[in-house]
C-alpha cells in the first residue's frame, strides 16, 4: 500500500517562490561591486530571476546545460542562481582565486555554455575565455553604464540582458533528481573533482540547515553569508536564507575586516558565516580600532578548524555565540554543527570552550561513522581516531565523470579523507586530514590541535604544524608561526605556552618564524605548499 500524499517535487525555484509569496518585502541588501549599497527584496529577486530564465530559454539554455558564475555575493548573483535553476540548467560556481589555467580546465571539464561574471574578474576571464570553446556568451553582472572596455566577444551587461524579457514566464518542471549545481573541489591532490548537486539534495539540505541545532534561521534573522557562494555551495545560504524568509545581507567584494564590520553593524546582521581567516581579520580590526556587535547573536565558523581563541574572543569580548561547523563540498556542505546538547548544558568557561573546539554532531540526514583502514567501525569514546565516513541524501554518490571512485564504497559510505574521533554523545572532532596527520613512532599526532592552541598565544597571528622526517621517529611536528605586527616571541615562549596543554610527545621539536603561510583558494592553510617550501628543512641535530 502506498501513501496517498502528493508527489510535490523538491525543486529549488520553489524556494524563491515561497520567499516571494510569504516574505516578499524582506530585504536583500548588497554591497554592490560598483560601490554603493543596493536594496531589493525577495519579490523583486524572484521577478528578475524569472526574466533571466525567460531570457536564457530564448538563448536555447535548458535542462542540464551548465552555466558558470564567477561572482561575489550580491543580489545579482543570487538572482543568477535562481534564473539558471528555473530553466533546469546547472549553476556552476567558479572560484576566482584559482590559477586561470585551472579555471579553464574546470570550465572545459564542465563544458560551460555561458558565464556570469563580476566586473572584478573581467580581466581574468579575458585570459580564460579563449581557452574554453564551449563558451557561447558572457554576461557581466552590471549595467550598461558600468560596462568595461573588454576584449571579450559576445559580452553583455546583465541588466540589458534581462531587460529583453518581461518575466511572463513559468519555471520549467522536471524530476527533482535533476542536476541543479556544480562545484569543483579544490584539487589539492590531482585534478579537481566535480560535485553535482540535485534540486532534491539542495532543498532537503536547506531544510536540514534550518533546524534549531543547525543554523536555526527564522524570518526575524538578518543573515550575512560572508562565505562566498562559490565556496562549497555557499554553505546552503542561497536556499536556507530564502526558505526561512530571513533578510539577507550580501557583502559583495568587501571581504576585509573593516568592510565586514561596517555591514555587520550598519545592516544589523544577526547571524553570519565564514571561514576562520575572515574572523581573524575582523577580530584584529576590532582589537585595533574598537567597536561592538550589538545585533549579532551567532557566527557560524567552519571550512577549517575554529581556533579556541576566536571562539573565546567572540563570546567573552563581544557576546556573540560561536557555532563551529564542519562540512565539505561533497556534503552540500553541512555535516556537523557544535550546538550544545542538554548533556553538555552545564559546561562553562574553559570546559565549554573545549567542547566548542569540536566540530559537533550531525543533523538528521547525515549518517556518520569512524573506521580503521580495514573499514572496521571504531568506538565512540572521544579519543580513538579513525577515518570519517558519511552518507545521506545530500552527500555525493560519485564525482562527475566517475572520478575518485575509491572514496565511495558499495554500502554508500563516502570517505571524507578526514580523521576524527567521536564521543559518547555523538560529538565529532576532526584531528586531521588523513594526509596531514603526523606519524611519530607509529602513533598519530593531530596537527590541527597543536595549531589551535598555538594561535591562542597573544603574539601569534597564524600557526601551522607539519610533520618533518625524523631519523628515529619517522616524523616529528614542526611549528610554523606568523607573528603579529611588532611582536617577537621566542621559540621558548611558544614551547612554554604549549607545555601542559598537550602530551609531552606531541610537543613540536622546533619552531620557525615565517612572513607568510600559504593558503588555498578557499582561505585554508595549504599544507602541501608549506611542506614544499620547507622541504630542505631538517631538525637541529637530527
Distance between CA atoms of residues 263 and 250, nearest Å: 9
77 vs 231, which CB is nearer to ligand ADP? 231
Cell triple for residue 179?
A: 542536476
Q: According to CB under 6 A, which one of 305, 322, 437, 465 is a site residue for ligand ADP?
A: 305
68 forms beta bridges with 92, 115
Determine the interface stretch with ligand ADP among 52-60, 471-479, 488-496, 516-524 (rule: CB under 6 A): 516-524
Residue (45 or 98) nearer to ligand ADP, CB: 98
As beta bridge partners, residue 465 has: 479
What minimum distance in Å lies between the beta carbon of 231 and ligand ADP?
6
Instruction: Considering the complex, state which of residue 44 and residue 415 has its C-beta at the smaller distance from ligand ADP.
Output: 415
Active-site positions read 185, 330, 439, 444
| Site size toward ligand ADP, by CB under 6 A | 24
Residue 53 C-beta: closest distance to ligand ADP, Å: 29
Extract long-range pairs of 57-62: CB within 8 Å, 24+ residues apart: 57/87, 57/169, 58/164, 58/165, 59/114, 59/136, 59/137, 61/87, 61/89, 61/113, 61/114, 62/87, 62/88, 62/89, 62/172
Is residue 522 close enough to count as binding ligand ADP by CB under 6 A?
yes
Beta pairing partners, 92: 68, 182
- Residue 338 makes contact with ligand ADP by CB under 6 A: no
Q: Is 462 in the site for ligand ADP (CB under 6 A)?
A: no
Q: Which of 418, 449, 475, 510 binds ligand ADP (CB under 6 A)?
A: 418
Applying CB under 6 A, which of residues 185, 237, 396, 446 lies at the interface with ligand ADP?
185
Q: Write a three-state SS string for 455-479.
A: CCCCCEEEEEEEEEEECCCEEEEEE
Half-sphere exposure of 540 (CA within 13 A, CB side): 5
7 grid coordinates: 508527489
- State yes or no: residue 416 binds ligand ADP (CB under 6 A): yes
- Nearer of residues 40 and 272 to ligand ADP, judged by Cβ: 272
CB 414 within 8 A of CB 407: yes
| Touching ligand ADP, residues 431-460 (CB under 6 A) | 433
* Cell output for 42: 525577495
**Binds ligand ADP by CB under 6 A, chosen from 197, 261, 326, 399:** 326
Q: Which residue number, 242 or 333, has a Cβ lying nearer to ligand ADP?
A: 333
State the nearest-atom distance from the C-beta of 103 to ligand ADP, in Å: 14
Stretch that binds ligand ADP, among 34-42, 164-172, 323-331, 395-403 (CB under 6 A): 323-331
The Cα-based distances of 97 to 124, 164, 234 in angstroms read 10, 32, 15
The residue range among 83-91, 344-352, 469-477, 517-525 that interacts with ligand ADP, by the rule CB under 6 A, is 517-525
Grid cell for residue 372 = 580503521
Please report where in the chains the cell 548573483 appears, as a residue.
77
Q: Which is nearer to ligand ADP, 80 or 359 (CB)?
A: 359
Among 76, 137, 524, 531, binds ligand ADP (CB under 6 A): 524
Cβ 468 vs Cβ 476: under 8 Å: yes
By beta-carbon proximity to ligand ADP, the closer residue of 259 and 452 is: 452
SS3 155: strand
Q: Is 329 in the site for ligand ADP (CB under 6 A)?
A: yes
Nearest distance, CB of residue 517 and ligand ADP, angstroms: 16
Q: Is 232 in the site for ligand ADP (CB under 6 A)?
A: yes
Quick check: helix, strand or coil at residue 181?
A: strand
Cell numbers for 29, please give them. 541588501
- For binding to ligand ADP (CB under 6 A), which residues are involved? 185-186, 232, 302-306, 324-329, 333, 359, 416-418, 430, 433, 520, 522, 524
Amino acid at each position: 500500500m502506498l501513501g496517498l500524499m502528493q508527489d510535490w517535487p523538491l525543486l529549488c525555484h520553489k524556494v524563491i517562490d515561497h520567499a516571494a509569496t510569504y516574505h516578499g518585502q524582506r530585504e536583500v541588501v548588497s554591497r554592490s561591486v560598483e560601490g554603493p549599497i543596493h536594496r531589493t527584496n525577495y519579490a523583486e529577486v524572484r521577478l528578475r530571476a524569472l526574466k533571466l530564465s525567460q531570457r536564457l530559454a530564448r538563448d536555447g539554455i535548458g535542462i542540464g546545460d551548465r552555466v558558470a558564475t564567477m561572482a561575489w555575493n550580491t543580489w545579482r548573483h543570487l538572482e543568477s542562481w535562481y534564473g539558471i535553476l528555473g530553466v533546469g540548467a546547472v549553476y556552476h560556481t567558479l572560484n576566482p582565486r584559482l590559477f586561470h589555467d585551472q579555471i579553464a580546465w574546470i570550465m572545459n571539464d564542465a563544458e560551460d555554455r555561458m558565464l556570469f561574471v563580476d566586473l572584478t574578474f573581467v580581466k581574468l576571464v579575458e585570459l580564460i575565455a579563449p581557452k574554453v570553446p564551449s563558451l557561447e556568451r558572457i554576461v557581466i553582472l552590471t549595467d550598461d553604464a558600468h560596462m568595461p572596455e573588454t576584449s571579450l566577444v559576445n559580452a553583455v551587461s546583465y541588466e540589458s540582458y534581462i531587460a529583453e524579457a518581461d518575466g511572463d514566464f513559468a519555471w520549467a518542471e522536471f524530476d527533482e533528481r535533476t542536476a541543479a549545481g556544480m562545484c569543483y573541489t579544490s584539487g589539492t591532490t590531482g585534478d579537481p573533482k566535480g560535485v553535482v548537486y540535485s534540486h532534491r539534495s539542495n532543498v532537503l539540505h536547506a531544510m536540514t540547515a534550518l533546524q534549531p541545532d543547525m543554523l536555526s534561521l527564522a524570518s526575524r534573522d538578518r543573515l550575512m553569508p560572508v562565505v562566498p557562494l562559490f565556496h562549497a555551495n555557499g554553505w546552503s545560504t542561497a536556499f536556507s536564507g530564502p526558505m526561512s524568509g530571513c533578510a539577507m545581507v550580501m557583502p559583495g567584494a568587501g571581504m576585509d575586516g573593516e568592510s565586514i564590520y561596517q555591514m555587520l553593524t550598519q545592516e544589523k546582521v544577526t547571524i553570519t558565516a565564514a571561514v576562520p581567516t575572515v574572523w581573524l581579520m575582523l577580530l584584529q580590526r576590532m582589537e585595533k580600532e574598537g567597536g561592538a556587535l550589538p545585533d549579532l547573536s551567532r557566527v557560524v565558523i567552519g571550512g577549517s578548524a575554529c581556533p579556541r581563541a576566536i571562539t573565546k574572543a567572540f563570546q567573552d569580548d563581544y557576546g556573540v555565540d560561536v557555532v563551529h561547523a564542519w562540512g565539505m563540498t561533497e556534503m552540500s556542505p553541512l555535516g556537523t554543527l557544535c550546538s550544545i546538547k542538554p548533556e553538555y548544558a552545564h559546561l562553562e568557561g574553559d570546559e565549554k570552550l573545549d567542547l566548542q573546539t569540536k566540530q559537533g554532531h550531525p543533523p538528521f540526514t547525515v549518517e556518520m561513522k569512524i573506521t580503521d583502514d580495514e573499514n572496521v567501525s571504531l568506538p565512540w569514546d572521544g579519543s580513538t581516531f579513525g577515518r570519517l565516513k558519511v552518507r545521506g541524501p545530500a552527500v555525493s554518490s560519485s564525482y562527475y565523470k566517475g572520478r575518485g571512485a575509491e572514496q565511495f564504497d558499495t554500502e554508500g559510505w563516502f570517505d571524507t579523507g578526514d580523521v576524527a574521533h567521536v564521543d559518547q554523545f555523538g560529538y565529532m572532532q576532526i584531528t586531521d586530514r588523513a594526509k596531514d596527520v603526523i606519524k611519530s613512532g607509529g602513533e598519530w599526532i593531530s596537527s590541527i590541535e597543536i595549531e589551535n592552541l598555538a594561535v591562542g598565544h597573544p603574539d601569534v597571528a597564524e600557526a601551522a604544524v607539519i610533520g618533518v622526517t625524523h631519523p628515529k621517529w619517522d616524523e616529528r611536528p614542526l611549528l610554523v608561526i606568523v607573528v603579529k605586527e611588532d611582536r617577537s616571541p621566542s621559540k621558548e615562549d611558544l614551547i612554554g605556552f604549549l607545555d601542559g596543554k598537550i602530551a609531552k610527545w606531541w610537543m613540536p621539536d622546533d619552531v620557525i618564524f615565517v612572513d607568510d603561510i600559504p593558503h588555498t583558494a578557499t582561505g585554508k592553510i595549504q599544507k602541501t605548499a608549506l611542506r614544499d617550501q620547507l622541504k630542505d628543512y631538517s631538525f637541529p641535530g637530527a
